[in-house]
Chains A and B, each alone.
Chain A
């Protein structure tokens, strides 16, 4: 019974990790950027929702505000920061030939800069105290599932994660913009020959990624005590979920999140202190045995 419970809790926890990892996976899949600011941005979304809720907004309305705000922020961050960094990697002939700039590492370093600056800023504004978004009785509500009682909030998180990933997948597979995004991921220069503006398309991808990340951040903020430094842990778990599932594959990311959640809860069942460690060990094992991840790259790229 305890093992069954650990398994169910692991899958539910995996839902949160998958939702967190979706945006990271999307940005990597389309642009080959590892966005190190991913975790702290999710925490920023949690703080923003907290402030709105404290101002008296209902939580659902806070989400309706924060998600589009993050989409706009994502578009702006891509145009203003990531695109210039990407231009150093691929861009003009002169930049490629010159030794100035950070080359391949430029986007990674820019995202690192955003991460540390934003963490400091959050500490300045909100202090290092831990907070939690008040949810009334949602966080403690349970639904009976056979012999078990399952938390309502984790269940909602898992359902939302699966729905978001399915929606992004359908968008990429079935719409002209999604097709253009995959084309840009394959060959940005050739995509430009067919009317796709890579800089705009990258920005749309990042806007979408930031929207999913904001949603994930709100769910984290509802279920967990968070502080400005909590973004590091968020980034770590999201990154592990992406790698376990397979880089650039969104269904893989869903699977990777669930595998990571299972490893952590089952590990904790074996030894209460070792849950997170078990997650890291599974991550390491996947890297050694299947460096490409559990699911091969499908879409994008």
Chain B
């Protein structure tokens, strides 16, 4: 059975139909990358999956149970954790207190403080600093750690690379690779195709709120992705992905 199963999802912002009939499935341990340009509906899709913005139609099943209308604070207790766009750390809380907020939903499992500090050793060194004074990369590491501490069935990552230096993005995705390799089921929304392909098993492209391409990540035709991105043919091929530094 799929961990996450979404069908016919429709999400509106006022009059704008941001997500228009999207369906997707996530199998246990799988990582799906949702790609698309700005305004394609990626973040809105994640908001609907996390329960921060409820859909107007469609269904979201978590381990076969409908959670479509469950509000965010109860959905995270069921096992859907979102690393939101812009990280949204609690600025007045220390790093460790930010991480401990991940324990508030009381889902205990393999991810505890020690496991998070193992994946992000530099986070352990800044545990007493306030969330509001961190660099973007530090914030992102803490935000991912905070989500892991909820021991999610599905980890949703929204634009992890946004606003970070390329070298920092690579470090963060190294960590994401380790996390997904250990069996965490994840859905990654990303504009950076190369980074997304480093972690994804499958990709799904959105354009104008609809799915325009679904393909396995291995052997992916980059031109097809580029076409899907912009809805036009003959888009330039992105530069080849840097090789991962570890297995």
Shortest Cβ distance from A94 into chain B, in angstroms? 8
Verify B13–A193 contact, CB threshold 8 A: no
CA distance A182 to B97 in the complex (A): 10
- A101 at the B interface (CB under 8 A): no
Verify A193–B72 contact, CB threshold 8 A: yes
Verify A179–B72 contact, CB threshold 8 A: no
In A69-100, the 8 Å CB interface with B consists of 93-94, 97
- Given A179-B93, A182-B92, A186-B93: A193 in contact with B14 (beta carbons within 8 A): no
Q: Determine which of B14, B77, B92, B93 lies in contact with A195 in the assembled complex, contact meaning CB atoms within 8 Å.
A: B77
In B40-80, the 8 Å CB interface with A consists of 50, 52, 71-74, 76-77
- A44 at the B interface (CB under 8 A): no
- A155 at the B interface (CB under 8 A): no
- A134 at the B interface (CB under 8 A): no
- Given A179-B97, A195-B77: A190 in contact with B104 (beta carbons within 8 A): no
Verify B102–A194 contact, CB threshold 8 A: yes
Q: Determine which of A93, A176, A197 lies in contact with B73 in the assembled complex, contact meaning CB atoms within 8 Å.
A: A197
Shortest Cβ distance from A85 into chain B, in angstroms? 20
In B135-188, the 8 Å CB interface with A consists of 146, 150
- A57 at the B interface (CB under 8 A): no
Shortest Cβ distance from A191 into chain B, in angstroms? 7
- B84 at the A interface (CB under 8 A): yes
Q: Determine which of A93, A185, A300 lies in contact with B13 in the assembled complex, contact meaning CB atoms within 8 Å.
A: A93
Verify A183–B50 contact, CB threshold 8 A: no
User: Could you say which residues of chain B place their CB within 8 Å of the CB of A183?
Assistant: 90, 93, 101
Q: Which of A93, A186, A198 has the most CB of B within 10 A?
A: A186
- Given A193-B52, A194-B104: A186 in contact with B90 (beta carbons within 8 A): yes
Closest to A190 in B: B88
The proximity string for A residues 152-194 relative to B, scoring 1 for CB distances below 8 Å and 0 otherwise, is 0000000000000000000000001001101101110111111
Closest to B104 in A: A195
Closest to A298 in B: B92
Verify B92–A186 contact, CB threshold 8 A: yes
User: Could you say which residues of chain B place their CB within 8 Å of the CB of A190?
Assistant: 84, 88-90
- A282 at the B interface (CB under 8 A): no
Verify A194–B91 contact, CB threshold 8 A: no
Closest to B53 in A: A93
- Given A183-B90, A194-B150: A176 in contact with B76 (beta carbons within 8 A): no
- Given A194-B101, A194-B104, A194-B150: A187 in contact with B13 (beta carbons within 8 A): no
- B100 at the A interface (CB under 8 A): yes
CA distance A186 to B74 in the complex (A): 20
Q: Determine which of B14, B92, B150 lies in contact with A300 in the assembled complex, contact meaning CB atoms within 8 Å.
A: B92
Q: Which 3 A-B pairs have the closest CB atoms?
A: A195-B105, A190-B88, A186-B90
19 A-B pairs besides A192-B72, A192-B73, A194-B150 with CB distance below 8 A are A93-B14, A97-B14, A176-B104, A179-B104, A182-B90, A183-B93, A183-B101, A186-B92, A186-B93, A190-B84, A190-B89, A190-B90, A191-B90, A193-B52, A193-B88, A194-B76, A195-B77, A196-B101, A301-B92
| B interface residues (Cβ-Cβ under 8 A, vs A) | 13-14, 50, 52, 71-74, 76-77, 81-82, 84, 88-93, 97, 100-106, 146, 150
